[in-house]
Protein backbone atom coordinates (compact mmCIF):
# COMPACT_ATOMS: atom_id res chain seq x y z
CA UNK A 1 0.00 0.00 0.00
CA UNK A 2 1.32 3.50 -0.92
CA UNK A 3 2.23 5.87 1.89
CA UNK A 4 -0.44 8.50 2.37
CA UNK A 5 -2.67 10.38 4.84
CA UNK A 6 -6.40 10.19 5.51
CA UNK A 7 -8.96 11.93 3.29
CA UNK A 8 -7.86 14.62 0.78
CA UNK A 9 -8.77 15.15 -2.87
CA UNK A 10 -7.57 14.31 -6.38
CA UNK A 11 -7.46 17.45 -8.53
CA UNK A 12 -6.15 17.18 -12.11
CA UNK A 13 -2.41 17.76 -11.68
CA UNK A 14 -2.01 19.82 -14.90
CA UNK A 15 1.75 19.29 -14.86
CA UNK A 16 2.04 17.82 -18.37
CA UNK A 17 2.80 21.12 -20.10
CA UNK A 18 5.95 21.81 -18.10
CA UNK A 19 7.16 18.62 -16.46
CA UNK A 20 9.53 17.66 -19.28
CA UNK A 21 10.90 21.14 -19.88
CA UNK A 22 14.44 21.59 -18.59
CA UNK A 23 14.68 24.71 -16.42
CA UNK A 24 16.13 27.68 -18.27
CA UNK A 25 18.15 30.39 -16.60
CA UNK A 26 16.09 33.58 -16.52
CA UNK A 27 18.19 36.69 -15.95
CA UNK A 28 16.55 39.91 -14.77
CA UNK A 29 16.04 43.08 -16.81
CA UNK A 30 17.70 46.40 -15.99
CA UNK A 31 16.48 46.56 -12.40
CA UNK A 32 15.75 44.21 -9.49
CA UNK A 33 13.91 45.02 -6.26
CA UNK A 34 15.06 42.94 -3.30
CA UNK A 35 12.32 42.79 -0.62
CA UNK A 36 13.64 43.32 2.91
CA UNK A 37 11.07 40.80 4.08
CA UNK A 38 11.11 37.46 2.28
CA UNK A 39 10.44 35.37 5.35
CA UNK A 40 8.21 34.87 8.35
CA UNK A 41 9.61 37.08 11.14
CA UNK A 42 11.01 40.57 11.48
CA UNK A 43 11.98 42.40 8.24
CA UNK A 44 15.69 42.94 7.60
CA UNK A 45 17.64 46.10 8.31
CA UNK A 46 19.08 47.63 5.11
CA UNK A 47 22.90 47.54 5.05
CA UNK A 48 23.47 49.36 1.75
CA UNK A 49 22.88 52.92 0.62
CA UNK A 50 22.11 54.71 -2.59
CA UNK A 51 25.16 54.62 -4.87
CA UNK A 52 26.76 51.51 -3.29
CA UNK A 53 28.19 48.98 -5.72
CA UNK A 54 27.08 45.41 -5.10
CA UNK A 55 27.69 41.95 -6.52
CA UNK A 56 25.30 39.02 -6.66
CA UNK A 57 25.58 37.51 -3.19
CA UNK A 58 26.35 40.74 -1.33
CA UNK A 59 24.13 41.15 1.70
CA UNK A 60 21.72 44.08 1.30
CA UNK A 61 19.49 43.41 4.32
CA UNK A 62 20.60 42.01 7.68
CA UNK A 63 18.31 39.82 9.75
CA UNK A 64 16.82 41.55 12.78
CA UNK A 65 16.34 38.97 15.51
CA UNK A 66 16.46 35.17 15.58
CA UNK A 67 13.37 34.56 13.43
CA UNK A 68 14.52 36.55 10.42
CA UNK A 69 16.76 35.84 7.43
CA UNK A 70 19.43 37.91 5.64
CA UNK A 71 18.65 39.03 2.08
CA UNK A 72 21.13 39.39 -0.77
CA UNK A 73 21.52 41.15 -4.06
CA UNK A 74 20.78 38.82 -6.98
CA UNK A 75 22.74 40.87 -9.54
CA UNK A 76 25.82 43.04 -9.71
CA UNK A 77 25.20 46.74 -10.13
CA UNK A 78 24.49 49.92 -8.21
CA UNK A 79 21.98 50.49 -5.40
CA UNK A 80 19.39 53.04 -6.44
CA UNK A 81 17.76 53.32 -3.04
CA UNK A 82 14.99 51.93 -0.87
CA UNK A 83 11.57 51.93 -2.49
CA UNK A 84 8.15 50.82 -1.38
CA UNK A 85 6.50 48.24 -3.65
CA UNK A 86 3.59 45.92 -3.32
CA UNK A 87 4.35 42.36 -2.29
CA UNK A 88 2.12 39.39 -3.19
CA UNK A 89 -0.46 40.28 -0.56
CA UNK A 90 -0.82 43.78 -2.05
CA UNK A 91 0.78 45.31 1.04
CA UNK A 92 3.57 47.85 0.42
CA UNK A 93 6.93 46.90 1.87
CA UNK A 94 10.53 48.15 1.57
CA UNK A 95 12.65 46.85 -1.31
CA UNK A 96 16.26 47.64 -2.22
CA UNK A 97 16.23 48.81 -5.85
CA UNK A 98 19.40 47.78 -7.70
CA UNK A 99 20.35 48.79 -11.24
CA UNK A 100 21.63 45.63 -12.91
CA UNK A 101 24.96 46.10 -14.76
CA UNK A 102 24.41 42.81 -16.59
CA UNK A 103 27.82 41.45 -15.53
CA UNK A 104 26.56 39.12 -12.79
CA UNK A 105 29.75 39.37 -10.76
CA UNK A 106 29.40 37.19 -7.69
CA UNK A 107 30.42 37.40 -4.06
CA UNK A 108 30.48 33.94 -2.52
CA UNK A 109 31.25 32.77 0.99
CA UNK A 110 34.10 30.31 1.66
CA UNK A 111 33.20 26.71 0.78
CA UNK A 112 32.91 24.39 3.81
CA UNK A 113 34.42 20.99 3.01
CA UNK A 114 33.59 18.94 6.11
CA UNK A 115 31.50 21.22 8.35
CA UNK A 116 30.33 20.34 11.85
CA UNK A 117 26.66 20.38 12.73
CA UNK A 118 26.98 23.89 14.21
CA UNK A 119 28.93 25.15 11.19
CA UNK A 120 26.13 23.97 8.89
CA UNK A 121 23.51 25.76 11.02
CA UNK A 122 25.62 28.94 11.08
CA UNK A 123 26.08 28.84 7.30
CA UNK A 124 22.34 28.31 6.75
CA UNK A 125 21.68 31.39 8.89
CA UNK A 126 24.35 33.51 7.16
CA UNK A 127 23.07 32.47 3.72
CA UNK A 128 19.53 33.59 4.60
CA UNK A 129 17.91 30.24 3.79
CA UNK A 130 14.17 29.94 4.41
CA UNK A 131 11.59 27.25 3.64
CA UNK A 132 11.61 27.28 -0.17
CA UNK A 133 8.31 25.39 -0.42
CA UNK A 134 6.58 28.71 0.20
CA UNK A 135 6.37 28.77 4.00
CA UNK A 136 9.49 31.00 4.18
CA UNK A 137 10.19 30.08 7.79
CA UNK A 138 13.91 30.72 8.51
CA UNK A 139 15.65 27.34 8.20
CA UNK A 140 18.30 27.98 10.88
CA UNK A 141 15.46 28.17 13.43
CA UNK A 142 14.13 24.79 12.30
CA UNK A 143 17.65 23.40 12.60
CA UNK A 144 17.87 24.51 16.25
CA UNK A 145 15.05 22.48 17.90
CA UNK A 146 14.99 22.15 21.65
CA UNK A 147 14.16 18.44 21.34
CA UNK A 148 15.99 15.49 19.81
CA UNK A 149 15.04 14.85 16.19
CA UNK A 150 14.59 11.27 15.03
CA UNK A 151 13.24 11.84 11.51
CA UNK A 152 14.24 14.36 8.90
CA UNK A 153 11.46 14.40 6.31
CA UNK A 154 12.27 15.89 2.91
CA UNK A 155 9.21 17.03 1.05
CA UNK A 156 9.34 16.32 -2.66
CA UNK A 157 5.60 15.77 -2.96
CA UNK A 158 4.82 18.93 -4.97
CA UNK A 159 1.12 18.16 -4.71
CA UNK A 160 -0.19 21.51 -6.01
CA UNK A 161 -1.44 21.37 -9.61
CA UNK A 162 0.63 23.02 -12.40
CA UNK A 163 3.89 23.40 -10.44
CA UNK A 164 6.90 21.40 -11.65
CA UNK A 165 9.73 23.39 -10.05
CA UNK A 166 10.63 20.79 -7.41
CA UNK A 167 10.24 18.05 -10.01
CA UNK A 168 12.77 19.70 -12.31
CA UNK A 169 15.10 20.30 -9.38
CA UNK A 170 15.03 16.58 -8.53
CA UNK A 171 15.54 15.63 -12.19
CA UNK A 172 18.37 18.08 -12.82
CA UNK A 173 20.23 18.37 -9.50
CA UNK A 174 19.74 14.97 -7.87
CA UNK A 175 23.33 14.47 -6.75
CA UNK A 176 23.64 17.96 -5.26
CA UNK A 177 20.24 17.62 -3.64
CA UNK A 178 21.30 14.43 -1.87
CA UNK A 179 24.37 16.27 -0.54
CA UNK A 180 22.11 19.05 0.76
CA UNK A 181 19.78 16.54 2.43
CA UNK A 182 22.71 14.83 4.15
CA UNK A 183 23.95 18.21 5.40
CA UNK A 184 20.52 18.85 6.92
CA UNK A 185 20.59 15.39 8.51
CA UNK A 186 24.00 16.14 10.01
CA UNK A 187 22.88 19.54 11.29
CA UNK A 188 19.91 17.98 13.06
CA UNK A 189 21.74 14.81 14.05
CA UNK A 190 18.63 12.98 12.89
CA UNK A 191 18.57 9.17 12.94
CA UNK A 192 16.55 8.66 9.75
CA UNK A 193 15.92 10.64 6.63
CA UNK A 194 12.98 10.07 4.29
CA UNK A 195 12.37 11.75 0.97
CA UNK A 196 8.68 11.59 0.01
CA UNK A 197 7.75 12.03 -3.68
CA UNK A 198 4.26 11.62 -5.14
CA UNK A 199 3.93 8.62 -7.44
CA UNK A 200 2.93 10.79 -10.40
CA UNK A 201 6.68 11.54 -10.66
CA UNK A 202 8.16 8.07 -11.29
CA UNK A 203 11.25 9.44 -13.05
CA UNK A 204 12.09 11.70 -10.11
CA UNK A 205 11.66 8.75 -7.72
CA UNK A 206 14.04 6.71 -9.87
CA UNK A 207 16.51 9.59 -10.19
CA UNK A 208 16.60 10.29 -6.47
CA UNK A 209 16.94 6.58 -5.62
CA UNK A 210 19.91 6.41 -7.99
CA UNK A 211 21.71 9.26 -6.19
CA UNK A 212 20.68 8.32 -2.65
CA UNK A 213 22.75 5.12 -2.41
CA UNK A 214 20.66 3.93 0.55
CA UNK A 215 21.72 6.95 2.62
CA UNK A 216 18.24 8.40 2.19
CA UNK A 217 15.02 6.38 2.07
CA UNK A 218 13.13 7.56 -1.02
CA UNK A 219 9.44 6.76 -0.54
CA UNK A 220 6.75 7.01 -3.26
CA UNK A 221 3.67 8.74 -1.88
CA UNK A 222 0.16 8.28 -3.18
CA UNK A 223 -0.74 11.18 -5.47
CA UNK A 224 -3.31 13.02 -3.43
CA UNK A 225 -3.77 16.60 -2.32
CA UNK A 226 -2.52 17.94 0.18
CA UNK A 227 0.15 15.24 0.37
CA UNK A 228 2.82 17.91 0.85
CA UNK A 229 1.16 19.37 3.97
CA UNK A 230 3.57 19.11 6.88
CA UNK A 231 1.34 17.02 9.12
CA UNK A 232 0.16 14.93 6.17
CA UNK A 233 3.63 13.98 4.93
CA UNK A 234 4.82 13.20 8.47
CA UNK A 235 1.88 10.83 8.92
CA UNK A 236 2.35 9.26 5.48
CA UNK A 237 6.01 8.50 6.11
CA UNK A 238 6.17 7.72 9.84
CA UNK A 239 2.56 7.17 10.97
CA UNK A 240 3.23 9.78 13.66
CA UNK A 241 0.49 12.32 14.32
CA UNK A 242 1.43 15.86 15.31
CA UNK A 243 -1.04 16.78 18.08
CA UNK A 244 -3.23 19.86 17.80
CA UNK A 245 -1.28 23.13 18.26
CA UNK A 246 2.03 21.28 18.43
CA UNK A 247 4.98 21.28 16.07
CA UNK A 248 6.63 18.47 14.10
CA UNK A 249 9.60 18.60 16.50
CA UNK A 250 7.23 17.62 19.32
CA UNK A 251 7.02 14.20 17.67
CA UNK A 252 10.74 14.16 16.79
CA UNK A 253 10.38 15.34 13.16
CA UNK A 254 11.63 18.20 11.03
CA UNK A 255 10.21 18.70 7.53
CA UNK A 256 12.14 20.56 4.83
CA UNK A 257 11.34 21.05 1.18
CA UNK A 258 13.68 19.76 -1.57
CA UNK A 259 14.31 23.38 -2.61
CA UNK A 260 15.53 24.16 0.89
CA UNK A 261 17.89 21.17 0.86
CA UNK A 262 19.31 22.35 -2.47
CA UNK A 263 19.79 25.87 -1.08
CA UNK A 264 21.72 24.32 1.83
CA UNK A 265 23.96 22.47 -0.62
CA UNK A 266 24.59 25.72 -2.52
CA UNK A 267 25.38 27.65 0.65
CA UNK A 268 27.73 25.07 2.19
CA UNK A 269 29.38 23.47 -0.83
CA UNK A 270 29.34 26.41 -3.23
CA UNK A 271 29.37 29.30 -0.75
CA UNK A 272 26.33 30.77 -2.49
CA UNK A 273 23.76 32.71 -0.46
CA UNK A 274 20.04 32.29 -1.14
CA UNK A 275 19.06 34.48 -4.10
CA UNK A 276 18.14 31.99 -6.81
CA UNK A 277 15.52 29.26 -7.12
CA UNK A 278 13.53 26.96 -9.42
CA UNK A 279 10.16 28.34 -10.49
CA UNK A 280 7.34 27.38 -12.90
CA UNK A 281 5.40 29.81 -15.10
CA UNK A 282 2.20 28.21 -16.28
CA UNK A 283 -1.59 28.42 -16.52
CA UNK A 284 -3.91 28.32 -19.51
CA UNK A 285 -3.21 31.95 -20.45
CA UNK A 286 0.54 31.33 -20.89
CA UNK A 287 1.19 30.06 -24.43
CA UNK A 288 4.77 29.00 -23.68
CA UNK A 289 4.86 27.79 -20.05
CA UNK A 290 8.34 27.12 -18.65
CA UNK A 291 10.47 26.14 -15.74
CA UNK A 292 13.12 28.61 -14.77
CA UNK A 293 16.06 29.12 -12.48
CA UNK A 294 15.18 32.65 -11.51
CA UNK A 295 16.74 35.34 -9.32
CA UNK A 296 15.03 37.08 -6.45
CA UNK A 297 13.88 40.64 -7.01
CA UNK A 298 12.72 40.16 -10.60
CA UNK A 299 9.23 41.69 -11.03
CA UNK A 300 6.52 39.32 -12.24
CA UNK A 301 5.63 41.81 -14.96
CA UNK A 302 9.17 41.49 -16.37
CA UNK A 303 8.81 37.71 -16.45
CA UNK A 304 5.44 37.84 -18.15
CA UNK A 305 6.78 40.28 -20.77
CA UNK A 306 8.92 37.43 -22.07
CA UNK A 307 5.87 35.21 -22.63
CA UNK A 308 3.02 35.13 -25.04
CA UNK A 309 -0.03 35.61 -22.87
CA UNK A 310 -3.75 35.54 -23.69
CA UNK A 311 -6.57 36.94 -21.55
CA UNK A 312 -6.39 35.75 -17.99
CA UNK A 313 -8.70 36.49 -15.15
CA UNK A 314 -6.56 35.45 -12.25
CA UNK A 315 -2.82 35.65 -11.53
CA UNK A 316 -1.66 33.37 -8.73
CA UNK A 317 1.63 33.18 -6.88
CA UNK A 318 2.06 29.54 -5.78
CA UNK A 319 -0.40 26.79 -6.60
CA UNK A 320 -4.08 27.20 -7.42
CA UNK A 321 -5.11 25.53 -4.15
CA UNK A 322 -3.08 27.43 -1.56
CA UNK A 323 -1.43 30.18 -3.60
CA UNK A 324 -2.15 33.87 -3.31
CA UNK A 325 -4.30 35.60 -5.88
CA UNK A 326 -2.34 38.66 -7.02
CA UNK A 327 -3.92 42.12 -7.26
CA UNK A 328 -1.42 42.94 -10.08
CA UNK A 329 1.98 41.84 -11.36
CA UNK A 330 4.04 44.39 -9.38
CA UNK A 331 5.32 41.83 -6.88
CA UNK A 332 8.77 40.32 -7.35
CA UNK A 333 10.25 36.85 -7.12
CA UNK A 334 11.27 36.00 -3.55
CA UNK A 335 12.97 33.02 -1.95
CA UNK A 336 9.55 31.37 -1.52
CA UNK A 337 8.20 31.84 -5.06
CA UNK A 338 7.58 28.41 -6.58
CA UNK A 339 5.33 29.51 -9.43
CA UNK A 340 3.39 32.19 -11.20
CA UNK A 341 0.14 31.06 -12.83
CA UNK A 342 -2.06 33.02 -15.20
CA UNK A 343 -5.44 31.30 -15.22
CA UNK A 344 -8.23 31.66 -17.74
CA UNK A 345 -11.97 31.79 -17.11
CA UNK A 346 -12.22 28.06 -17.90
CA UNK A 347 -9.67 27.23 -15.20
CA UNK A 348 -11.42 29.14 -12.44
CA UNK A 349 -14.31 27.61 -10.60
CA UNK A 350 -17.61 29.46 -10.45
CA UNK A 351 -17.52 31.50 -7.27
CA UNK A 352 -21.19 32.49 -6.96
CA UNK A 353 -22.12 30.66 -3.75
CA UNK A 354 -25.51 29.14 -2.98
CA UNK A 355 -26.89 27.80 0.29
CA UNK A 356 -25.26 24.84 2.05
CA UNK A 357 -27.08 21.60 1.25
CA UNK A 358 -25.56 19.74 4.21
CA UNK A 359 -23.96 17.13 1.99
CA UNK A 360 -20.90 16.78 4.31
CA UNK A 361 -18.49 16.53 1.39
CA UNK A 362 -16.32 19.27 2.88
CA UNK A 363 -15.96 17.24 6.07
CA UNK A 364 -15.30 14.01 4.23
CA UNK A 365 -12.25 15.36 2.40
CA UNK A 366 -10.76 17.47 5.19
CA UNK A 367 -7.27 16.12 6.01
CA UNK A 368 -7.58 17.61 9.50
CA UNK A 369 -10.97 15.96 10.07
CA UNK A 370 -12.70 19.31 10.62
CA UNK A 371 -16.30 20.30 9.91
CA UNK A 372 -15.88 23.34 7.66
CA UNK A 373 -19.63 23.74 7.09
CA UNK A 374 -20.17 24.23 10.83
CA UNK A 375 -17.41 26.84 11.10
CA UNK A 376 -18.77 28.68 8.08
CA UNK A 377 -22.35 28.45 9.34
CA UNK A 378 -21.50 29.95 12.72
CA UNK A 379 -19.26 32.62 11.22
CA UNK A 380 -22.19 33.69 9.05
CA UNK A 381 -24.19 34.09 12.25
CA UNK A 382 -21.31 36.08 13.80
CA UNK A 383 -21.05 33.45 16.52
CA UNK A 384 -17.29 33.12 16.97
CA UNK A 385 -17.68 31.17 20.23
CA UNK A 386 -19.62 28.38 18.53
CA UNK A 387 -17.38 28.45 15.44
CA UNK A 388 -14.37 27.97 17.72
CA UNK A 389 -15.85 24.75 19.08
CA UNK A 390 -15.21 23.29 15.61
CA UNK A 391 -11.50 24.05 15.88
CA UNK A 392 -10.73 26.40 12.96
CA UNK A 393 -7.23 26.89 14.43
CA UNK A 394 -6.30 23.38 13.26
CA UNK A 395 -7.18 24.21 9.65
CA UNK A 396 -4.15 24.12 7.34
CA UNK A 397 -6.00 26.20 4.70
CA UNK A 398 -5.49 23.55 2.02
CA UNK A 399 -8.74 24.47 0.25
CA UNK A 400 -9.89 20.86 -0.23
CA UNK A 401 -13.26 21.62 1.38
CA UNK A 402 -14.01 24.57 -0.91
CA UNK A 403 -12.83 22.54 -3.91
CA UNK A 404 -15.48 19.85 -3.41
CA UNK A 405 -18.31 22.06 -2.15
CA UNK A 406 -21.20 21.81 -4.65
CA UNK A 407 -22.61 25.09 -3.31
CA UNK A 408 -19.28 26.86 -4.10
CA UNK A 409 -19.12 28.31 -0.60
CA UNK A 410 -15.78 30.08 0.04
CA UNK A 411 -15.18 28.00 3.15
CA UNK A 412 -11.50 28.85 3.53
CA UNK A 413 -12.26 32.57 3.71
CA UNK A 414 -14.66 31.95 6.62
CA UNK A 415 -12.17 29.74 8.40
CA UNK A 416 -9.33 32.23 7.89
CA UNK A 417 -11.49 34.95 9.37
CA UNK A 418 -12.34 32.76 12.36
CA UNK A 419 -8.65 32.04 12.95
CA UNK A 420 -7.76 35.71 12.69
CA UNK A 421 -10.46 36.78 15.14
CA UNK A 422 -9.56 34.04 17.62
CA UNK A 423 -5.88 35.05 17.50
CA UNK A 424 -6.71 38.76 17.86
CA UNK A 425 -8.93 38.02 20.84
CA UNK A 426 -6.14 35.88 22.40
CA UNK A 427 -3.56 38.64 22.01
CA UNK A 428 -5.94 41.23 23.53
CA UNK A 429 -6.50 38.97 26.55
CA UNK A 430 -2.79 38.25 27.11
S1 LIG B 1 -11.15 22.95 6.77
FE2 LIG B 1 -9.07 23.64 6.41
S3 LIG B 1 -7.84 21.78 6.53
FE4 LIG B 1 -9.98 21.14 6.24
S5 LIG B 1 -10.22 20.92 4.06
FE6 LIG B 1 -10.86 22.98 4.54
S7 LIG B 1 -9.03 24.21 4.24
FE8 LIG B 1 -8.34 22.07 4.36
S1 LIG C 1 -19.65 20.71 0.97
FE2 LIG C 1 -20.62 22.71 0.86
S3 LIG C 1 -22.76 22.24 0.65
FE4 LIG C 1 -21.81 20.36 1.36
S5 LIG C 1 -21.93 20.49 3.62
FE6 LIG C 1 -20.01 21.39 3.05
S7 LIG C 1 -20.45 23.57 2.91
FE8 LIG C 1 -22.41 22.52 2.82
Q: Of 137, 21, 25, 129, which is closest to residue 75 (Cα–Cα)?
A: 25
285-331 per-position pLDDT tens digit: 999 999 999 999 999 999 999 999 999 999 999 999 999 999 889 99
Atom of ligand 2 nearest to the CA of 411: 7
Q: For residue 81, count other CB atoms closer than 10 A to its CB.
A: 13
d(CA 219, CA 216): 9
β-pair partners for 82: 96
Q: Any residues with CB less than 8 A from the CB of 381 and at least 6 apart, and which?
A: none
Whole-number pLDDT of residue 234: 97
Average pLDDT estimate for 147-165? 97
Whole-number pLDDT of residue 430: 61
Atom of ligand 1 nearest to the CA of 400: 5
Which of 372, 377, 400, 410 is the best mutation target for the ligand 2 pocket, counting ligand atoms within 8 Å of the beta carbon and taking the most? 372
Average pLDDT estimate for 158-166? 97
Whole-number pLDDT of residue 349: 78
Which of 6, 374, 392, 412 is the best mutation target for the ligand 1 pocket, counting ligand atoms within 8 Å of the beta carbon and taking the most? 412
Whole-number pLDDT of residue 39: 80
Whether residue 371 contacts residue 363, with contact meaning beta carbons closer than 8 Å, is answered with: yes
44-67 per-position pLDDT tens digit: 999 999 999 999 999 999 999 888
Say whether pLDDT at 84 is over 80: yes
Residue whose CA is at the smallest distance from ligand 1 atom 3: 395
DSSP at 350: P
Whole-number pLDDT of residue 213: 85
Residue 265, exposed/middle/buried by CB under 10 A (0-12, 13-18, 19+)?
Answer: buried
Whole-number pLDDT of residue 90: 87
Average pLDDT estimate for 226-235? 95
- Considering every ligand atom, which ligand is closest to the CA of 398? 1
When the pLDDT of each residue in the chain is averaged and rounded to a whole number, the result is: 95
Ligand 1 centre distance from Cα of residue 394 (Å): 9
Whole-number pLDDT of residue 6: 86
pLDDT band at 32 (very low <50, low <70, confident <90, very high): very high
Atom of ligand 1 nearest to the CA of 7: 5
Say whether pLDDT at 238 is over 70: yes
Atom of ligand 2 nearest to the CA of 376: 7
Higher pLDDT, 428 or 411: 411
Q: For residue 13, count other CB atoms closer than 10 A to its CB.
A: 19
Q: Cβ < 6 Å from ligand 1: which residues? A: 366-368, 370, 372, 395-401, 411-412, 415
Domains in the chain with CATH codes: 117-269 (3.40.50.11540), 361-429 (no CATH)
Q: Any residues with CB less than 8 A from the CB of 271 and at least 6 apart, and which?
A: 108, 109, 110, 111, 112
Ligand 2 centre distance from Cα of residue 403 (Å): 10
Q: Cβ < 6 Å from ligand 2: which residues? A: 356-362, 373, 405-407, 409, 411
Whether residue 242 contacts residue 251, with contact meaning beta carbons closer than 8 Å, is answered with: yes
Q: Spell 158-179 as b/e; 16+ CB within 10 A means b.
A: bbbbbbbbbbbbbbbbbebbbb
Whole-number pLDDT of residue 1: 67
Q: What count of residues does the chain have?
A: 430
Ligand 2 centre distance from Cα of residue 170 (Å): 38
Whole-number pLDDT of residue 8: 87
Which of 371, 376, 396, 416 is the best mutation target for the ligand 1 pocket, counting ligand atoms within 8 Å of the beta carbon and taking the most? 396
Say whether pLDDT at 429 is over 80: no
| 383-391 CB contacts, 8 Å cutoff, 24+ apart | 384/418, 384/421, 384/422, 384/425, 387/418, 388/418, 388/422, 391/244
Ligand 2 centre distance from Cα of residue 405 (Å): 5
DSSP at 323: P
Q: Of 110, 120, 128, 100, which is closest to residue 41 (Cα–Cα)?
A: 128
Which of 415, 416, 417, 420 is the best mutation target for the ligand 1 pocket, counting ligand atoms within 8 Å of the beta carbon and taking the most? 415
Cα 362 to chain centroid distance, Å, stands at 25
- Considering every ligand atom, which ligand is closest to the CA of 366? 1
Looking at the chain, the number of H-run helices and the number of E-run strands are 13, 17
- Considering every ligand atom, which ligand is closest to the CA of 380? 2
279-289 per-position pLDDT tens digit: 999 999 999 99
Amino acid sequence: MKATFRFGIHPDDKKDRTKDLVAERLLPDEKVYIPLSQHIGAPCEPVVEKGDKVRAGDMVGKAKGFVSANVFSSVSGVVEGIVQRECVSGQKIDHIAIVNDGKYEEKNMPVLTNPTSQEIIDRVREAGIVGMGGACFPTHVKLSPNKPIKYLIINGAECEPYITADYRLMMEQGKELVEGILLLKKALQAEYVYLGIEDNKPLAIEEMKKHSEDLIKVVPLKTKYPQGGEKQIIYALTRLQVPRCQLPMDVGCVVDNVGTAFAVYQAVKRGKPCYERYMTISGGAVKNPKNYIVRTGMPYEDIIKRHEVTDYIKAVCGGPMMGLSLPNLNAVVTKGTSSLLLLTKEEIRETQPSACINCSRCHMVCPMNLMPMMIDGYMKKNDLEKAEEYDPISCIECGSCAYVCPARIPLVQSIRLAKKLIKERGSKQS
